[in-house]
Structure 1
Amino acid sequence: MVDVNGVRLHIAEQGDGPLVVLLHGFPESWHSWHHQFGPLADAGFRVVAPDQRGYGRSDHPDDVDAYTILHLVGDVVGLIHALGEEKAYVVGHDWGAPVAWHTALLRPDMVLGVAGLSVPPPFRGTEPPLAAMEKRFDGRFYWNYFNRPGVADAEFAKDTRTALRKFFYSASGDAPGARGGMQPLVDPERGWLAAMPDPEVLPDWFTEDDLDALTESFSKGFTGALNWYRNLDRNWELTAPWHGAVVTRPALYIYGDRDLVPAFPGTPELIERLPDLMPNLWREPIKLAGCGHWTQQERPDEVSAALIEFLRACA
């Protein structure tokens, strides 16, 4: 347990050497990186993965406003300092990716290199994201559903294990008909889980033990995690000073070709332009065939190998 930025964070740690901070996404925990700990530590790195604020054994502030991107970047900055370091490599998946990208954007002096999985680097749009998705999808996009106070919280907490099982299977590359072009839309009356398949058998990469660990990490509910989404428009306001800015630190982007996120409106075009937009993009974005959203869990060996090669190249 580490005190940073006014909250107490639970971390998992392994290895010695240059610090690598691994940031999970939604609905996950530090455990989403368990396949990467051994390989990165064996490669000579000190690997630390926190439960980010609102998740797992870390603090869950009650105030929705305590989950802005500035708070989340502040947690990473505070964590690096609390671990006795001045600089670190920062790697994020899903929501962890925007936190990693923004850490490199706002504090490049502290970031040796940055990698994002699933979610590409932040290029701030011309209008607030919740408002934009409300108009485009008539309020059915999952961000807007999550923004309704208490609604998704109650749906997911009703049967946490089943909710997580459905989430992980339906967003994986193993789900029947999984494809990158599908948009995650929610029937506001039925909720999101009703349309998700519930597998009789989990994919090989996601065991019952993994599901047990994940279920336990949400014993305090989903509200803290959902509060990240409830700050999307607030984040757009707060990051106005960096409109048009780019991440200048060495960068790597990895995604699956069956992941829903890289198919969000405007994102395919952004990914195509990344080599031109990112001055220090280490190489062309890595696209993993047959991989869904849970990049480092569905393709652990490929992700670990790519990260090690990138981290060594940044040294």
Structure 2
Amino acid sequence: MTEIIHRHIQVADLRMHVAEAGTGPLVVLLHGFPESWYSWRHQLLALAAAGYRAVAPDQRGYGGTDRPNAVEDYTILHTVGDVIGLIAALGEEQAVVAGHDWGSGVAWNSALMRPDRVRGVIALGGPYGPRPAAPPLATMRKEAGENFYVAYLQRPGVADRELSQDPRTTVRRALFGASGEAYPWNPIVPEDGGLLDTWREPEQLPDWLTEADLDVYAADFARTGFTGALNWFRNLDRNWALTSAWQDAVILPPALYITGDRDTAAALPGGKELIAGRSTVVPNQRGAVVLPGCGHWTQQERPTEVNKAIISFLASL
């Protein structure tokens, strides 16, 4: 019987924890915030059973993977480099790269920057749009104000302390608060509150989320804190500056987009076009799956549908 195996792999100067299952063509699964490899628990064995080698790392700053101290060590060049380095460290030339939330941004950019290594890209929730004309933080602040959650997360140490006070409460409220059951999510932090106040406290957990699931996430963040994870948000403008060489570039590998109709991430630039299958920057898109009633945590809320869509896409390559 196939099992999920855990080990550490040296990827350049980063010691990376991975969970893996199966043999066959490589599929790398990239989690988002505030999660870990565990967000892909329903996909690892399903992909293995379908004849694939599925590998879900803890990305830098998370779980059992190293957490560099410097904020600038969490740029898109670092995170894409981690993926390309991981593919090589696993002894493979190419992989299909799937990502959710922040992981979708890494997946898209891995396909953009290294199409020779990425033979297909799957994005859950997070769309891909053209590189904006100006640094994104100023635009966000102008459109949504200083209390927009991304602006709030830029304040050194503030969200770090808030989220670390009770990691179990943090992950419980985050996972419920952006789910289909709690839709819609208001991303504006109250003047006298914090990020946790934007997420509703559940009266009871939804069927797809158990106390045991919360145990896994909470144990990781109790040990690591949240600063490494938050540093991803603190590189938005730096990422914009570093990616000027890819202005007007397109994603060449075949692509699949999966989202929920209650996922606010789908409203980000590029989402509407991907859902309609008319993205000019993803010309080789092979479909879009929109899951009714599903919120942001796509592969956890709807594992059966997500597994079916992913395996169908993989078979088409």
TM-score range, shorter chain: over 0.9
- 1:239-273 Cα shifts (integer Å, max 9, x gaps): 01101111010000000001121124x45544456
Structure 1: state its 5+ residue gaps: none
SS in 2 for 1:114: strand
Equivalent-residue separation in structure 2 for 1:24 and 1:50 (angstroms): 8
Structure 1 contact 113–251 (Cα < 8 Å) conserved: yes
Does the 8 A contact of 2:162 with 2:194 survive in 1? yes
The 1-side partners of 2:270 and 2:192 are apart by 28
Asked if 1:313 corresponds to 2:316, the answer is yes
Matches of residues 212-227 of structure 1 in structure 2 within 5 Å?
A: 212-218=215-221, 219-227=223-231
Other-structure match for 1:251? 255
Q: How many residues align?
A: 308
Work out which of the residue numbers 164, 168, 174 in structure 1 matches 2:175. 168
Residue 37 of structure 1: aligned partner: 44
Kept in 2: contact 1:254–1:287 (CA 8 A)? yes
CA RMSD of the aligned region, Å?
Answer: 1.3
For residues 2-17 of structure 1, the aligned pairs below 5 Å read: 2-17=9-24
In the other structure, the counterpart of 1:263 is 267
Residue 295 (str. 1) matches residue 298 (str. 2): yes
Residue identity opposite 2:36 in structure 1? S
3-state SS of paired residue (2:293): coil
Is contact 1:183-1:260 (8 Å) kept? Answer: no
Q: CA deviation at 1:37?
A: 1.1
Question: d(CA) in 1 for partners of 2:19 and 2:271?
Answer: 34
Q: What one-letter code is carried by the residue in structure 1 that aligns with 2:243?
A: T
2:62 partner letter: Y
1:60 maps onto 2:67 in alignment? yes
In structure 2, what is the Cα distance between the partners aligned to 1:273 and 1:302? 19
Q: Please identify runs of 4+ aligned residues in structure 1 that moved more than 6 A.
A: none
SS at match of 1:32: helix
Cα deviations by residue, 1:277-314 (Å, 9 ceiling, x for unpaired): 1211012x211000000000000000000000001101
Cα shift readout 1:33-85 (whole Å, capped 9, x = no counterpart): 00001110000000000000000011000000000000000000110000000
Aligned with 2:210 (options 207, 210, 224): 207
Q: What's the offset of the Cα at 1:194?
A: 2.4
Cα distance between partner residues in 2 of 1:313 and 1:108: 17
**One-letter amino acid of the structure 2 residue matched with residue 21 of structure 1:** V
CA shift for structure 1 position 189: 3.2
What's the CA shift string for 1:82-111, capped at 9, x where partnerless?
000010010000000000000000000001
Do 2:40 and 2:56's aligned partners in 1 also have CA atoms closer than 8 Å?
yes
Checking the alignment, whether the CA contact within 8 Å between 1:69 and 1:99 is kept in structure 2 is yes
- Letter of the structure 2 residue corresponding to residue 275 of structure 1: R
**Structure-1 residue corresponding to 2:77:** 70
Q: Secondary structure at the match of 1:185?
A: coil
Aligned to 2:27: 20
Give, in angstroms, the shift of residue 6 of structure 1.
1.3
Q: Which residue of 1 aligns with 2:153?
A: 146
Moved more, 57-66 or 121-130: 121-130
In structure 1, the residue corresponding to 2:146 is in which secondary structure?
coil
After superposition, where does 1:106-117 map in structure 2 within 5 Å?
106-117=113-124
**Range moving further from structure 2, 82-91 or 124-133:** 124-133
3-state DSSP class of the match of 2:232? Answer: helix
- What is the TM-score when the length of structure 2 is the normalising length? 0.94
- Tell me how far apart the structure 1 counterparts of residues 271 and 104 of structure 2 sit (CA, whole Å): 17
The one-letter code sitting in structure 2 at the alignment partner of 1:156 is L
Which residue of the partner structure matches residue 136 of structure 1?
Answer: 143
Identical-residue share of aligned pairs (%): 55
**CA separation in 2, counterparts of 1:141 and 1:200?**
26
1:276, distance to aligned residue in structure 2 (A): 3.9
- CA deviations on 1:100-135 (whole Å, 9 max, x unpaired) are 000000000001110000001242111111111011
Q: 2:278 aligns with which of 275, 279, 304?
A: 275
Q: Could you say what secondary structure the match of 2:278 adopts?
A: helix
The answer for unaligned runs of 5 or more in structure 2 is: 1-7
Q: Distance in 1 between matches of 2:154 and 2:273?
A: 25
Contact in 2 for aligned 1:183/1:263 (Cα 8 Å): no
